Amino acid sequence: MSTPVNTSDDTPGNDGTTVEMSRRRVLGTLGAAGAGGLVVGAVSGAGIASAVSGESAPSAPALTTVGSTEVMFHGKHQAGITTPLQSRGHLIAFDLVPGAGRKEAAALLRRWSTTAGTLMEGKPANGADTDISLDAGPSSLTLTFGFGRTFFDRTGLTARRPAQLDPLPAFSSDVLDPKRSEGDLWVQIGADDALVAFHALRAVQKDAAGAARVRWQMNGFNRSAGATAKPMTARNLMGQVDGTNNPVPAQSSFDQRIFVPDGASGAQAWMAGGSYAVVRRIRMLLDDWEGLSRPEQEQVIGRRKSDGAPLSGGSETTPLDLNKLGADGKTVIPNNAHSRISAPAQNGGAAMLRRPFSYHDGIGADGTPDAGLLFIAWQADPLRGFVPVQRKLDRGDALSAFIRHETSGLFAAPGGPATGEYVGQRLLEA
């Protein structure tokens, strides 16, 4: 298990005396509360437990709400798919090193799963911990693992590669950098604290030593937890409410659209309870976008910028009235508006769970920001989810003039591990 690191902090009290606070004791209390305490937003096996300290002594103060929230590592589905958006994120892809195969991959997934389970409980990483997030709790940390198409070639498992991992087609808005696309293995990290997220990133990279090397890595962010008066749909760097039409677990078709069914057979048997992630780094041409007036921006999207409501009227969650006409006899929501073209009703019901992070990687030599969206879309079948929608957007979406797809990846994320299992065990040990 883990190596204890700095198990107590000496914190001066108000009277000048020293109060000893055991970090491990506090986190142990949090773990106990997670098993039977209040569950906030528990979805599909990825429950978020709000921990409450059971100690009455003032020497063991509870962590704040943001720091104490814990997401379960074990469950039917991997964490980080239906988990509410976190404020910080890292995406990292690896390629197996030359000579590494199925045996080495299995050992790596065991290490990663052990590390993920430990860190998600708010405990120090196994081995020599870096102490980066020493003072923090779990902070809603999640680690999600996926396999790319090439992983199956390098591990001798091509017979078990699902057709859902067939390469995505080319799109006219693609300006893809192959060095920052795809990969044998992919890890999505999310947390509500930047140091907790970075701690997990370093632990994952260290665990990979000798088995896999980094192919590419990207950093993202969202609005911080508690920054708004009430929970709200996220906004992207264009200022638009982003994610309104996402499928939600309460819908009867949610699992069918997002997760591979339990009865999956053949090459997909090991993917039962899993999902496919399409990952795209989409640069936003913000100078061009911000040159538009607000009404012009709303025409491009088909929604009000203020609250995300459709231009046809109502509130954010009001269905789009695609047939409503204005005084000029034209449709209120333009025919090339992004919301119209991407609507499930316009795409045979195709839907995906969009769970993105924004990114900003500085200012380019031309003075424009390198910023946009780390687009992550989860679905049971990308050939029925992402591909048909993106094809339609590719043919006439008004938003296309203001974005550029610069990287792309497709990964199979198996179902969550049962207690005692590691992620991908059903694939690697079958």
Q: Tell me the catalytic residues.
A: 242
What residues contact 94, with CB distance under 8 A and at least 6 apart? 183, 184, 185, 186, 187, 208, 212, 213, 214, 215
Residue in this structure with the two tokens 């339609």, named with its chain if needed: 392
Report residue 345 as tokens. Answer: 């009703």
Looking up tokens 């305490």 gives 37
Cβ burial, residue 69 (10 Å; 0-12/13-18/19+):
buried
Cα separation of 114 and 110, whole Å?
Answer: 6
The DSSP secondary-structure symbol of 2 reads B
Among 196, 148, 162, which Cα is nearest to 407's? 148
Count of Cβ atoms closer than 10 Å to residue 374 Cβ: 22
Whether 241 and 252 have beta carbons less than 8 Å apart is answered as: no
Q: How does strand 142-147 pair with strand 353-354? A: unpaired
CA proximity to 374, closest of 393, 396, 359 = 359
Structure tokens at 65: 């709400």
φ/ψ (deg, to 5) at 133: -115, 35
Q: How far apart are CA 53 and CA 46, in angstroms?
A: 22
Asked whether 68 and 175 are in contact (CB, 8 A), the reply is: no
Query: Tokens for 330?
Result: 């034209």
Residue 317, both tokens: 């969650």
Q: State the DSSP string of 206-249.
A: HHTTTTEEEEEEEEEE-PPTT-SSS----B-TTS-B--TT---T
